[in-house]
């Protein structure tokens, strides 16, 4: 890995007409984390907090500049090395004739990860770096190159010098889907880049790869992604999430792609639920966590006590199913906004909060809570709110749904006194989109 000898070599200006902006939301798992890994139903919603990417062409010969604000790094990558990987026939797959950008399931994941790791060693030049975040930075670059190679290697695209800036409103490592949001946004960005670069081609794929043709009218570059494209973006993001999280269930990439609320069961088609946005309190315990470790802990527990743990997982599925029904009624009543429905609304919020509490207790029995998370939940209870951990647990965020016109001032004050970070946001907004 080369390091920068003189910063002035890396001055550049925007040039050319390619300028693409995309963003993808973070997510919360409302019900069903951990049980989803064992085939149970889960419910997740998108957040009003997004990862934002901007790709623009630059006048710095043969360079791809990555400017990552959340991790404080700016790297230049040598485009020749990247193009070499793209040109290597069969680098991403052992079945080129079945493979194109639309078929991520034919990618040879482990080989591509290895190639990308080697590429990072050869191609990265550090312009700026925060040494304390270096491990995460290189993991991010690997993930980006994985998606770039996966999506573009079967195509006739030749890369132009470019800069990609990464910005994010989502806290990292706290259970609100920062890596899934990043993976979805990059998959979408490279799909947009592909459209832009191949708009006039008869067949987008290189010889020997499965042919791909845009519709007769050409790809839609300015508007949003088609549902077919969203499926492919989500599938590539899933592949990429394996770099960050080993064996993810797929719920995170799904909700960050499609937005709104999704009911998800592994290997089944996704059910999209459309509802009015709801206010959500996010409380960051600031306890670092690692999803992989928490998932492994539950697996071990299940190995020890298969019957007992199955009961808990089934109870979690029951919570998801019941909560979905309750949320549907809440949504109807919020839309109706009349006196008759108001009483029912209050009653159903009360039911949902009870289910949230039950869900947290079930998760706690799987050993994935933490004393700080439990303290947050006790404080919320004092203020007539219910909370649960979200995502892998062991730290990170507690979520609490806010009944309409709930004033958060007092509870926020008390939580902040304990040094917790409090964010009021909304859930249920749009998925990945061109900005």
Ligand X SMILES: C[C@@](O)(CCOP(=O)(O)O)CC(=O)O
State the residues that interact with ligand X by CB under 6 A.
Answer: 29, 33-34, 36-37, 175, 177, 245, 248-249, 251-252, 291, 295, 391-392
Is 53 a binding residue for ligand ADP by CB under 6 A? The answer is no
What CA–CA distances, in Å, run from 96 to 83, 84, 169, 184, 237? 18, 17, 38, 24, 21
Is 189 a binding residue for ligand ADP by CB under 6 A? The answer is no
Q: Which of 44, 68, 107, 255 binds ligand ADP (CB under 6 A)?
A: 68
Q: Which is nearer to ligand X, 57 or 252 (CB)?
A: 252
3-state secondary structure of 55: strand
Q: Which of 23, 46, 155, 179 binds ligand ADP (CB under 6 A)?
A: 179
Distant-in-sequence, close-in-space partners of 359: CB < 8 Å, separation ≥ 6: 31, 316, 319, 323, 388
Is 254 a binding residue for ligand ADP by CB under 6 A? The answer is no
Is 75 a binding residue for ligand ADP by CB under 6 A? The answer is no
Contact between 413 and 397 (Cβ < 8 Å): no
Q: Which of 78, 87, 252, 435 is catalytic?
A: 252
How many residues line the site for ligand ADP (CB under 6 A)? Answer: 18
Is 166 a binding residue for ligand ADP by CB under 6 A? The answer is yes
- As measured in angstroms, the least distance from the Cβ of 49 to ligand ADP is 11
3-state secondary structure of 223: coil
**Orientation angle between helical segments 134-152 and 79-87, nearest 10 degrees:** 40
Q: Which long-range contacts (CB under 8 A, 24 or more apart) does 5-9 make?
A: 7/127
Helix (H) or strand (E) holding 262: strand 261-264
Q: Which is nearer to ligand ADP, 68 or 385 (CB)?
A: 68
DSSP string, 264-284: E-TTSPPEEE----EEEEEEE
* N residues, the chain: 435
- As measured in angstroms, the least distance from the Cβ of 296 to ligand X is 11
What CA–CA distances, in Å, run from 205 to 36, 190, 217, 337, 434? 36, 15, 18, 53, 24
Whole-angstrom distance, CA of residue 94 vs CA of residue 431: 32
Is 140 a binding residue for ligand ADP by CB under 6 A? The answer is yes
**Would you call 252 a catalytic residue per the annotation?**
yes
Is 57 a binding residue for ligand ADP by CB under 6 A? The answer is no
Residue 168: name its binding partner from ligand ADP, ligand X, none (Cβ under 5 to 8 Å by kind): ligand ADP
Q: Which is nearer to ligand X, 100 or 291 (CB)?
A: 291
Contact between 364 and 374 (Cβ < 8 Å): yes
Is 330 a binding residue for ligand ADP by CB under 6 A? The answer is no
User: Quick one: CA torsion of 59, 62, 66, 67, rounded to 10 degrees?
Assistant: -30
Q: Which is nearer to ligand ADP, 45 or 379 (CB)?
A: 45
Residue 251: name its binding partner from ligand X, ligand ADP, none (Cβ under 5 to 8 Å by kind): ligand X
Q: Which of 57, 102, 129, 136 binds ligand ADP (CB under 6 A)?
A: 136
Contact between 327 and 351 (Cβ < 8 Å): no
- As measured in angstroms, the least distance from the Cβ of 244 to ligand X is 8
Is 244 a binding residue for ligand ADP by CB under 6 A? The answer is yes
Give the CA radius of gyration of the chain: 23
Distant-in-sequence, close-in-space partners of 159: CB < 8 Å, separation ≥ 6: 64, 79, 82, 83, 86, 152
Is 180 a binding residue for ligand ADP by CB under 6 A? The answer is yes
* Lookup: tokens for 113: 């990860």
Q: Which is nearer to ligand ADP, 96 or 250 (CB)?
A: 250
Per-residue contact track with ligand ADP, 274 to 303, x per CB under 6 A? -----------------x------------
Residue 387: name its binding partner from ligand X, ligand ADP, none (Cβ under 5 to 8 Å by kind): none
Whole-angstrom distance, CA of residue 323 vs CA of residue 263: 11
- Catalogue the active-site residues: 252
Residues that bind ligand ADP (CB under 6 A): 51, 68, 70-71, 136, 139-140, 166, 168, 172-173, 177-180, 182, 244, 291
């Amino acid at each position: 890995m080369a390091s920068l000898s003189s910063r002035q070599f890396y001055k550049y200006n925007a040039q050319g007409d390619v300028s693409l902006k995309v963003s993808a939301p973070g997510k919360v798992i409302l019900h069903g984390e951990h049980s989803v890994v064992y085939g149970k139903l889960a419910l997740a919603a998108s957040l009003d907090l997004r990862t934002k990417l901007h790709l623009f062409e630059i006048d710095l010969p043969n360079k791809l500049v990555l400017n990552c604000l959340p991790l404080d790094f700016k790297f230049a990558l040598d485009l020749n090395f990247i193009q070499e990987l793209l040109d290597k026939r069969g680098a991403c797959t052992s079945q080129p004739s079945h493979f194109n950008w639309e078929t991520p399931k034919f990618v040879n994941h482990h080989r591509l990860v290895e190639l990308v790791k080697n590429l990072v060693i050869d191609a990265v030049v550090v312009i700026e770096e925060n040494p304390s975040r270096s491990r995460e930075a290189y993991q991010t670059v690997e993930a980006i190159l994985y998606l770039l190679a996966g999506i573009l290697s079967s195509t006739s695209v030749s890369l132009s010098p470019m800069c990609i800036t990464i910005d994010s409103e989502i806290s990292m490592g706290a259970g609100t889907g920062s890596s899934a949001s990043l993976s979805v946004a990059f998959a979408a960005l490279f799909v947009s880049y592909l459209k832009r670069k191949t708009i006039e081609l008869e067949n987008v794929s290189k010889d020997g790869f499965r042919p791909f043709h845009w519709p007769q009218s050409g790809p839609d570059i300015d508007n949003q992604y088609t549902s077919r494209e969203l499926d492919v973006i989500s599938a590539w993001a899933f592949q990429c999430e394996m770099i960050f999280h080993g064996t993810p269930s797929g719920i995170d990439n799904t909700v960050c792609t499609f937005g709104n609320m999704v009911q998800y069961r592994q290997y089944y088609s996704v059910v999209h639920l459309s509802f009015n946005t709801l206010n959500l309190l996010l409380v960051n315990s600031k306890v670092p966590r690692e999803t992989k470790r928490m998932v492994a802990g539950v697996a071990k527990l299940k190995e020890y006590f298969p019957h007992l743990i199955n009961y808990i997982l089934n109870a979690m599925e029951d919570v998801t199913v019941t909560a979905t029904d309750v949320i549907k009624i809440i949504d109807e009543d919020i839309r109706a906004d009349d006196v008759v429905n108001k009483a029912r609304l209050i009653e159903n919020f009360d039911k949902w909060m009870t289910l949230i509490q039950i869900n947290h207790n079930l998760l706690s029995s799987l050993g994935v809570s933490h004393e700080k998370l439990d303290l947050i939940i006790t404080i919320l209870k004092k203020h007539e709110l219910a909370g649960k951990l979200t995502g892998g647990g062991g730290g990170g965020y507690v979520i609490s749904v806010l009944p309409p016109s709930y004033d958060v001032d007092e509870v926020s004050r008390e939580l902040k006194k304990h040094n917790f970070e409090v964010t009021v946001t909304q859930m249920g907004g749009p998925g990945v989109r061109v900005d």
